[in-house]
């Protein structure tokens, strides 16, 4: 179990992020067309931007920032993972012209959040994910992990980009 804060109040996740050097667990999430997508289907290096909901200012900003990165660095795929329905994810990305990220929804289950140790177990956001970023190599080994200690703050983008090399 990890502890993070939401505007200074402690909340807890169900576990811990995968460790650097470990292979990230495969998952099945839902894309914008309601198709199931798995991690093993996505080639190359990946950034997993795990957010509670794209309907919050910090989640929206991190998605915009990673979209800019992906536009300039097509060798890595940016997955935006949230509890939002695919329709809401698609609407947000469409309204913001964010075509360089792949939004994925946990709408069919919480196994992703449990397997990655980011499922919030208490407090007002119980049932969604903590804010986290993982960088994976082409074999889905973890190169970088970042559980953002304060959910209302952005991740450390420099650390993420440095991990990609």
Q: Which residues are catalytic?
A: 59
| CA distance linking residue 132 with residue 116, whole number of Å | 10
User: Which of 115, 122, 89, 134 minimizes the C-alpha distance to 6?
Assistant: 122
Cβ atoms within 10 Å of 148's Cβ, excluding its own = 20
Please give the C-alpha separations between residue 4 and each of 11, 18, 31, 115, in angstroms, as whole numbers: 6, 16, 28, 18
């Amino acid at each position: 179990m990890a502890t993070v804060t939401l505007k200074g109040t402690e909340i807890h996740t169900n576990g811990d992020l995968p460790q650097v050097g470990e292979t990230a667990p495969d998952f099945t999430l839902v894309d914008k067309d309601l198709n199931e997508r798995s991690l093993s289907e996505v080639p190359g290096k990946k950034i997993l931007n795990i957010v509670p909901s794209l309907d919050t200012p910090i989640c929206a900003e991190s998605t915009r920032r990673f979209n800019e990165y992906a536009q300039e660095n097509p060798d890595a795929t940016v997955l935006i993972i949230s509890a939002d329905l695919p329709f809401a994810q698609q609407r947000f990305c469409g309204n913001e012209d964010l075509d360089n990220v792949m939004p994925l929804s946990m709408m069919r289950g919480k196994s992703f959040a449990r397997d990655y140790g980011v499922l919030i177990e208490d407090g007002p956001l119980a049932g969604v994910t903590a804010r986290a970023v993982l960088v994976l190599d082409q074999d889905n080994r973890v190169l970088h992990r970042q559980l953002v200690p304060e959910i209302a703050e952005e991740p450390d983008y420099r650390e993420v980009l440095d991990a990609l090399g």
